[in-house]
Amino acid sequence: MSNTFIVSNRLPVRLDDAGKPVRTTGGLASALAGSGIEATWVGWPGIASEQMENEAQLVATLKESGIVPVILGEEIIDGYYHGYANSTVWPLLHYMIERARFEPEWFPFYEKANRAFAEAILDVVEDSDTVWIHDYHLFLLPRMLRESGKKLRIAFFLHTPFPSSEIFRALSERRKILEGLLGADLIGFHTYNYLRHFRSAVLRVLGVESNVGSVQQEQREVSLGVYPIGHDHRGFSKAMQTAEYQDALNRHAAELAEKKLFISVERLDYTKGIPQKLDAIRLFLKENEAERAKIVFVIIAVPSRGDVDEYVQLTEEVQREVGAINGKYGTVGHAPVQFLHRSFPQPELAALYALADACLVTPLIDGMNLVAKEYIDCKNESTGGRPGVLILSEFAGAAQELSHAIMVNPYDVTETARAITQALTMSDNDKQKRTLAMQDRLRRSDSSAWATTILNEVKAIPLTVREVNATTQFPMITGRVVKAVQEGGRASLFLDYDGTLRDFVSKPEDAVPDPELLPLFDRLCAIPGLDVAVVSGRPLEFLDQHFPNPALTLVAEHGYRWRRPDTDGWELVHEHIDTDWIDVVMPLLEQAVDLTPGSHLEEKQSSIVWHYRQTDPEFGLWRAHGLLAELTDVTASLPVAVHHGKKIVEVASQLVNKGQAVKALISDWHPNIAIVAGDDQTDETMFALELGNELDFVSVKVGDEGATRAKRRTDIRGLRNFLVQLSEELGTDPALKR
Ligand code: GDG
């Protein structure tokens, strides 16, 4: 049976006065408890190893209750948690680049901490287990687990926003972070906007294109999804059944008497917009003298990240401002703003939600915001709830679901002050209607439903998807080639170069053959009965320079010229080719270069190629579509073929294509078996060849993108392994050795 592991920076435990771990509820822990999913937690217990009185005992106690602790020392916690995660990444994910601190010494600790998590997990997981990783503290972990070679299903959920790539790319470690994340099988976000920004970062930082729902990674597909988190409905319902809740409800109702209660609840964090909220309250009190004594704003701000300077300063700023407002608008018996800088038990919180006439949720930006959902849920008449209305920032992820709230722009203090007036004067009937319109859906899509959905989706991903090992498709073919050659027949290999025999690089001239390739060709060319051709779009100069072995056949410029063994160098494949069309298409191609920074033209004997690999990826693609439409029009009656390849648009003479050249070579060589391999559109002319039943014709597409007429697929490594295997099997046969 496969197991599920939930990994988050903090474990759902706190240490009591005696240093003993006590399970805490709330958030993820309750979500899972409610969903009936059994999972083991992996995380940091919240104190540094140096502070633990008896580390071994603590670890043993935690393990007994199904928890796997990740033990971290003070130095790592400082650099990883207080430093990189909370002082660099957190502000950046929330668009607050001016608050982000960039200290080069922090990232190595972030890596070390992620590594410590990986090791703790790898100690306990087995093949086919599911690991669900949470949040920005652990961006590198999915890849670390993937690289372990264990067959795990890995999900990652980001609880914060994912910002625009313009902001994200300010991180020096942007590549490592994206690559780390892409080690997962499934990456989840709260909203479609965050997913969209993530895709754009993957495109702009890694140059990897994606679909709305997935990113292709070598032989794996990484699913992307939108899963708005729900609140702990079950937990709040239970809390509202307790005596503690009733007691708080009665007590607060008596304290409030006729006064209206406007509540806000949040961690004291600069993303939550507390100073702006206080500005709006101040403006409201200034303009509504008659209301001052009748309203109380209770601001519950749970202490957060007290070790980070930014947070200490924010606390002081908020305390000062609250004092100033009360000093100005309070009376002897009444302070309009109550700032409660501490945490409350859940039943007490539920009672305050139930009583409050309005809830002010006004973050400057927030991944989701659960308080907004909890407030709506607690508006339950049968448990003493009073009608109330939610005032909600349009920049909280929750705004996309809670459309019946009074929506505000938290930066617009006047608008928020006006929303307070609107809430104050709203009829109970209107409040109830708004609440009811949202309540059912919120209760259904609570935190348990959310956790169940994500876990079900990741568990449905077949482990075998990413085991499609291209090399496994070849033994049969190797056997057929070996047999043909050993039985005195002939075999031919027609191999494209870029993207087939080696990877793409941004400058085509840098894509020289790697050190293994030329000796491999030397070995293959030495096998009697085997003919080998490199069939490329490259100019003859490049091929001549990099493939010196004269026994190797070279086809340049997509089949325009060739260099065959035992001949005097390069010849035209076809004697007469009309190139008058070049004058017609050239102006269009030159215009494309002028209008698209980073693009350039490559002129070949029988074709012209517009390259846009180094342009802005979206802009380049858009221009390519425009150019293709124009070219299709202009070339309708010309003897050319226009095609859209990988980051190129090519106009080529119709007679000249790789397929025609291969066909001519096959009729020369008479092989019993021929293998053609290529990765892009120009190679389709080879795959589409119809050469009769006599020939064993094997077409292989390298890469898993796009439709193809080839009968098989592999990747660069798979093809390379096949060639090596062939050279070993045929090269080691003494009968065949020269
Ligand atoms: C991150 C993202 C995203 C608060 N005060 C008390 C208390 N709380 C509980 C609330 C609520 C939770 O804390 C706060 O959750 P939020 O969603 O509002 O915000 P973050 O802490 O910033 O959480 C956020 C979330 O992750 C989930 O993905 O929504 O955008 O920033 O549940 O009830 N609970 C108790 N006493 C308090 O005084 N018992």
CB distance 632 to 605 below 8 Å: no
Rounded Cα distance between 98 and 351, Å, is: 38
DSSP string, 562-603: EE-TTSSSEEESSS----THHHHHHHHHHHHHHHSTT-EEEE
> Which ligand 1 atom sits closest to the C-alpha of 269?
22
Give per-residue pLDDT as tens, 195-225.
999 999 999 999 888 888 899 886 688 999 9
136 CA → ligand 1 middle, Å = 16
Q: Retrieve residue 650's tokens.
A: 């090519």
Distance between start and end Cα atoms, the chain: 56
Tell me, yes or no, if the two domains 4-226 and 233-443 fold the same way.
Answer: yes
Q: Which ligand 1 atom minimizes the distance to the CA of 343?
A: 38
Q: Give how far Cα 250 sits from Cα of 334, 339, 351, Å.
A: 20, 21, 9
Highest mean pLDDT among 55-64, 457-466, 657-666: 657-666
**pLDDT for res 468:** 38
- Crossing angle of helices 346-355 and 370-377, rounded to 10°: 70
Spell out which residues line ligand 1, taking CB within 6 angstroms. Answer: 159-160, 229, 265, 267, 300, 302, 343-346, 349, 366-371, 374
pLDDT digits (tens, 9 = 90+) for 706-726: 778 998 888 898 899 899 999
Tell me the C-alpha distance between 345 and 339, whole Å. 17
pLDDT band at 649 (very low <50, low <70, confident <90, very high): very high
Residue 465 and residue 459 in contact, taking contact as beta carbons nearer than 8 Å: no
Q: Would you say residue 462 has pLDDT above 80?
A: no
Distance 31 CA to ligand 1 centre (A): 13
* Rounded Cα–Cα distance for residues 620 and 712 (Å): 31
* Dihedral in degrees, nearest 10, Cα atoms 684, 685, 688, 694: -130
Where in the sequence numbering do the catalytic residues fall? 496
pLDDT at 72: 96
Interacting residues of 253 by C-beta distance below 8 A, sequence separation 6+: 355
Nearest C-alpha to atom 26 of ligand 1 is from which residue? 159
- Please tell me which residue, 669 or 737, carries the higher pLDDT value: 669
Average pLDDT estimate for 676-690: 92
Q: Is pLDDT at 227 greater than 90 in this prediction?
A: yes
Measured distance CA(161)–CA(194) in Å, rounded:
6
- What's the average model confidence in pLDDT over 247-264? 95
Mean pLDDT of 641-659: 89
Q: Which atom of ligand 1 is nearest to the CA of 190?
A: 28
Q: Given pLDDT bands bounded at 50, 70 and 90, which one contains residue 83?
A: very high
Please give the DSSP secondary-structure letter assigned to residue 137: G
Q: How many CA atoms lie within 13 A of 112 on its CB side?
A: 17
Cα–Cα dist 418/399, whole Å = 18
Average pLDDT on 97-120 reads 97
Find the 524 Cα to ligand 1 centroid distance in Å.
64
* Greater pLDDT, 508 or 630: 630
CATH architecture of 582-653: 2-Layer Sandwich (3.30)
Does residue 356 register a pLDDT over 50?
yes
| Residue, of 641 and 134, whose pLDDT is higher | 134
Rounded Cα–Cα distance for residues 245 and 251 (Å): 10
Q: What number does the ligand 1 atom closest to the CA of 367 have? A: 30
Range among 449-458, 635-644, 728-737 with highest mean pLDDT value = 449-458
Our CA dihedral for 71, 75, 79, 80, rounded to 10 degrees, sits at 0
CA 137 to chain centre: 15
- Encode 156-183 in three state secondary structure: EECCCCCCCHHHHCCCCCHHHHHHHHCC
Q: What are phi and psi of 320, to 5 degrees?
A: -60, -45
Cβ neighbours for 715, distance < 8 A, ≥ 6 positions apart: 218, 219, 470, 702, 703, 704
Phi-psi region of 673 (alpha: psi -120 to 50; beta: other; left: phi over 0): beta
How far apart are the CA of 369 and the centre of ligand 1, in A? 7
**Ligand 1 centroid vs 267 CA: distance in angstroms?**
7
Report strand pairing: 640-645 vs 648-653: antiparallel
Cα(175) to centroid of ligand 1, in Å?
Answer: 30
pLDDT of residue 465: 38
- Mean pLDDT across 365-392: 96
> Over 90: is that where the pLDDT of 733 sits?
no
Q: Are 577 and 656 in contact (CB under 8 A)?
A: yes
- Reduced to 3 states (helix: H, G, I; strand: E, B; else coil), residue 339 is strand
pLDDT computed for residue 732 by the predictor: 59
Confidence of residue 12 (pLDDT cuts 50, 70, 90): confident
Q: How confident is the model at residue 734 (pLDDT cuts 50, 70, 90)?
A: very low
Mind spelling out the 3-state secondary structure of 187-244? EEECCHHHHHHHHHHHHHHHCCCEECCEEEECCEEEEEEECCCCCCHHHHHHHCCCHH
4-226 placed in CATH 3.40.50.2000? yes
Residue identifier of the C-alpha nearest atom 19 of ligand 1: 369
Residue that has been written with the tokens 């994200």 in this structure: 168
Atom of ligand 1 nearest to the CA of 396: 30
Provide the percentage of residues in the chain whose pLDDT is more than 70: 96
> Residue 703 corresponds to which tokens in the numbers above?
């890469």
Query: Does 470-575+656-736 carry CATH code 3.30.465.10?
Result: no
Amino acid at 10: R
CA distances for 334 relative to 45, 102, 298, 299, angstroms: 42, 45, 12, 15
H/E stretch holding 325: helix 309-329
CATH code at 233-443:
3.40.50.2000
Contacts of 684 (CB under 8 A, 6+ apart): 678, 708, 709, 710
Between CA 316 and CA 430 the distance in angstroms is 38
592 burial type by CB count under 10 A (0-12 exposed, 13-18 middle, 19+ buried): buried
Residue nearest to atom 21 of ligand 1 (CA): 267
User: By C-alpha distance, which of 346, 339, 295 is closest to 314?
Assistant: 339
For the ranges 8-22, 383-397, 569-583, 595-609, the one whose mean pLDDT is highest: 383-397
Atom 38, ligand 1: which residue's CA is nearest?
343
Where residue 364 falls among pLDDT bands split at 50, 70, 90? very high
Three-state SS sequence of 422-473:
HHHHCCHHHHHHHHHHHHHHHHHCCHHHHHHHHHHHHHCCCHHHHHCCHHHH
219: its two tokens: 């032989």
Strand bridging mode 607-611 / 570-572: unpaired
Question: What is the number of the ligand 1 atom nearest to the C-alpha of 361?
Answer: 18
By most ligand atoms within 8 Å of CB, the mutation choice from 6, 30, 342, 370 for ligand 1 is: 370
C-beta pairs of 250-257 under 8 Å, 24+ apart in sequence: 252/351, 252/352, 252/355, 253/355, 256/296, 256/355
DSSP bridge pairs for 153: 130
Residue position matching structure tokens 């668009």: 95
Q: Check if the beta carbon of residue 43 is closer than 8 Å to that of residue 65.
A: no
- pLDDT of 475 reads 61
Q: Enumerate residues 6+ apart whose C-beta is below 8 A from 718.
A: 469, 470, 471, 473, 474, 702
| Digit-coded pLDDT (tens) for 558-591 | 898 999 997 878 999 988 878 889 999 999 999 9
| Cβ partners under 8 Å of residue 713, min gap 6 | 470, 473, 700, 701, 702, 703, 704
Ligand 1 pocket, mutate which of 242, 368, 392, 393 (most atoms under 8 A from CB): 368
Tracing tokens 């502000």 back to the chain, one arrives at: 91
- The pLDDT tens digits for 235-244 are 999 999 999 9
Q: Which residue's alpha carbon is at the smallest distance from atom 32 of ligand 1?
A: 370
133-142, 289-298, 414-423, 557-566: which range is least confident on average?
Answer: 557-566
Q: What is the pLDDT of residue 437?
A: 93
Beta strands in 588-653 (DSSP E): 600-603, 607-611, 640-645, 648-653
Q: Which residues pair with 60 in a beta bridge?
A: none
Nearest CA, atom 39, ligand 1: 346
Global confidence as pTM: 0.76
Q: Where are the domains of the chain?
A: 4-226, 233-443, 470-575+656-736, 582-653
User: Could you tell me the distance, in angstroms and rounded to a whole number, from the CA of residue 460 to the centre of ligand 1?
Assistant: 30
Whole-angstrom distance, CA of residue 539 vs CA of residue 508: 11
Please tell me the distance from the alpha carbon of residue 569 to that of residue 590, in angstroms, as a whole number: 33
pLDDT of residue 611 exceeding 90:
yes
Average pLDDT over the chain reads: 91
Q: What is the band of 30 on the pLDDT scale with cuts at 50, 70, 90?
A: low
Confidence label for 735 from pLDDT (cuts 50, 70 and 90) = very low
Question: Residue 474's pLDDT band (boundaries 50, 70, 90)?
Answer: low
Pocket residue to mutate for ligand 1, from 28, 95, 136, 265, most atoms within 8 A of Cβ: 265
Nearest CA to ligand 1 atom 10: 371
296 three-state secondary structure: strand
Evaluated on CA atoms 662, 667, 668, 670, the torsion sign reads positive
Neighbours of 666 (CB within 10 A): 20
CA dihedral 633, 636, 639, 641 (to 10 degrees): 60
Q: Which one has a higher pLDDT value, 662 or 468?
A: 662
